[in-house]
Amino acid sequence: MTRPTRFEEHQYLGDKRVQRVHDLDAATDACAVDELMASEKFAAFGPDTLAEAANRGYRPCRHCLPRAREEGAA
């Protein structure tokens, strides 16, 4: 899929509705990132890291961040 233009400088995109974070480099159709962008209920992180997303209570998406879930990184 193509990376949303507004997030071309970010790797991680959070969904505020479900407190889930996606990796835009690995996002799949199941992530529904396009729908998330359209909903405008998304969040960016600063710094743009999985650790920062976790600090803010976001859990890694099982579709694009399965390894992070296994390792308990978030």
By CB under 5 A, residue 3 contacts Zn ion: no
Separation CA 70–CA 3 (nearest Å) = 25
Separation CA 66–CA 6 (nearest Å) = 25
Q: How many residues bind Zn ion (CB under 5 A)?
A: 5
Q: Of the candidates 12, 13, 14, 31, which one interacts with Zn ion according to CB under 5 A?
A: 31
- Under a CB-based contact definition with an 8 Å cutoff, are residues 24 and 60 in contact? no
Which one of the spans 4-12, 29-37, 39-47, 48-56 is the region binding Zn ion (CB under 5 A)? Answer: 29-37
Interface with Zn ion (CB under 5 A)? 22, 31, 61, 63-64
